[in-house]
Amino acid sequence: MSGATRLRAEPVALVAAGAVTPFGTDLDAFWSGLITGSDGISMIERFPVDDLRVGRGGEIKKLRPLPPTRHTGCRATQLLLAAAQDLLARADISAVPERVAVVLGTALGGVEQLERALARGGRPRHAAGALYDSPAHALARRLGARGPVLTVSTACAAGATALGIGADLLRDGAADVVIAGGYDGLCRFVMRGFDALRSLTRERVRPFDRRRSGLLLGEAAALVLMTRDDRKGEPRLGRLLGHASASDGSHIAAPDPSGRGLEFAVRAALDEAAVTPADVDFVSAHGTGTPLNDRIEAEVLRRTLGHRASAIPVNSIKGAFGHSMGAAAALEAIMCLLASREGVVPHTRGLEEPDPACDLDHVVGSPRATRPRISLSTSLGLGGCNAALVLEGGET
């Protein structure tokens, strides 16, 4: 990385969070599902899958009714609005509309609308809805946010990058409140694509397990309300201390075997947060359950955390309801902060026999009672995208 002296970034407060996942339509359901080891994987029912090798995934079966609007929007927008409903039940947006920004990560945007737009009778609004930034603008309209509206599409690392950019907007004074996070809905487009790639497992998702054989996809939306960390005494979930992203420059559809992009991101995020491996109490790994990803990620964590790697609890939540793509990193960041608040780290569902090639201190079998203060969250995405977040748990 650059040899230039870097500036320690100002921490940013993560005040509250909202989520909709296959476990349910709020944050409490998300957390209790993780802690109880629930299975969020099921046969997909919302669209036909009988011609696919794998027709299972983390599908959200039921959403709460949303306030009536002119258009209900696409699935992705509906997920976002549901997550926002949960978020706003926990925190108010206390800023003028022009000072409220929305920054969202997604791998698919509103692509499901493209299928409608191209079908017979497709309407102009379907064509506009197919743009990947349409759901973010729909959310901004619903929230009345009139500040910057950004859509990040670094594939499955997008949720992490969105939180990072949201923090930068606050640090630069470009916004006073940022609603940041990620989302993606399951649709035929992505199921067919991953099915053709043969990335989906016919078995359980087993991150870091010696029997791991691939991933399953899930759908979710996760949002956090971020402010500058200058509201002393007000409750908050935690703080974002640092973030970084990097490219592999290696392969379009596979991670760099050396993991150099992820390593750069981890080191740069720790550097920005001004913390060392000795400070890290917990790692939320990307942990997709694919043979290559998990091995590379474990190697990178061992390199970057050094001798501490074997003493830091590591988990992956993708065994619980699959890989929720653009939502994944945002959910994982929230999980880190909830683990700190609750004093317990969820275990990696599906992990039974840790692969010696992925040797880390995995949280296996049941949740672990520990209260991490500093967490590291790692993410990788198609196209060689990597991102890392450093978070600090705890209310003021």
Partner 1 sequence: MTASLEARSAAAGSANATPPTGTAVEAVAVLTGWGHGIRALPADAARAAAGRAVIPLFRPVLEGERFRRATRECLLGVAAVDALLRESGITRDMIRGSATALIYVTGAGYGASNQAFVVAESLRQARIEGGLTDKRPGSVASSGTLHFPYTAPSAMAGEVAIEFGLTGPYGILIGGAATTIDALWQATRLLAGGRCERALVLAVETFEECAALYARGRWLVRRPLVEAAVCALLVPGALRARYDAPRTPSTLETLARVRAGETLACAPLIALALARDGGAAGSVSVTGEWRGRRAGLHWQ
Task: Work out the angle at residue 267's Cα, subtended by the Cα atoms of residues 265 and 273, and round it to the nearest 5 degrees.
Answer: 100
Active site residue 336: no
* Residue 240 interacts with partner 1 (CB under 8 A): yes or no: no
Asked if 10 interacts with partner 1 (CB under 8 A), we say no
Known active-site residue 71: no
DSSP 134-162: HHHHHHHHHHT--S-EEEE--GGGHHHHH
Beta 385-393 vs 238-247: how paired, if at all?
antiparallel
What's the per-residue H, E or C state across 309-354? HHHCEEECCHHHHCECHHHHHHHHHHHHHHHHHHCEECCCCCCCCE
Catalytic residue at 286? yes
**142 Cβ partners below 8 Å, 6+ apart?**
69, 81, 84
Of 165, 178, 300, 374, which lies in the binding site for partner 1, with binding defined by CB under 8 A? 165
Tokens of 153: 């599409």
Q: Residue type at 126?
A: H
List the interface residues with partner 1, window 357-396 (CB under 8 A): 381-386
Q: Using the CB atoms, write b or e for 49-75: b if 16+ within 10 Å.
A: beebebbbbbbbeeeeeeeeeeeebbb
Contact string (CB under 8 A) for partner 1, positions 312-351, x = contact? ----------------------------------------
Whose Cβ is closer to partner 1: residue 314's or residue 388's? 388
Closest CA to 248 of 107, 154, 150, 357: 154
Positions in 73-112 near partner 1 (CB under 8 A): 98, 107, 109, 111
Number of residues that bind partner 1 (CB under 8 A): 77
- Contacts of 140 by beta carbon, 8 Å cutoff, 6+ apart: 102, 146, 149
Please tell me whether residue 154 binds partner 1 under the rule CB under 8 A.
yes
Considering only the stretches 64-72, 81-89, 129-137, 368-376, report the one whose residues sit in contact with partner 1 under the rule CB under 8 A.
Answer: 129-137
- Give the one residue of 253, 307, 356, 369 binding partner 1; rule: CB under 8 A: 253
Residue span binding partner 1 (CB under 8 A) among the ranges 151-159, 215-223, 276-284, 368-376 = 151-159
Is 117 a residue that touches partner 1 (CB under 8 A)?
Answer: yes
First and final CA of the chain: distance in angstroms? 34
Query: Residues 104, 165: contact at Cβ < 8 Å?
Result: no
Closest separation between CB of residue 183 and partner 1, Å? Answer: 13
CB of 100 to partner 1, least distance (A): 12
Subset of residues 260 to 279 that bind partner 1, contact rule: CB under 8 A: 260-261, 264, 268, 272
Residue 130 touching partner 1 (CB under 8 A)? yes
Interaction between residue 303 and partner 1 (CB under 8 A) = no
Q: Which is nearer to partner 1, 196 or 311 (CB)?
A: 196
Q: Which residue among the candidates 323, 336, 347, 385 is catalytic per the annotation? A: 323
Q: Which is nearer to partner 1, 148 or 394 (CB)?
A: 148
Which are the catalytic amino acids?
A: 156, 286, 323
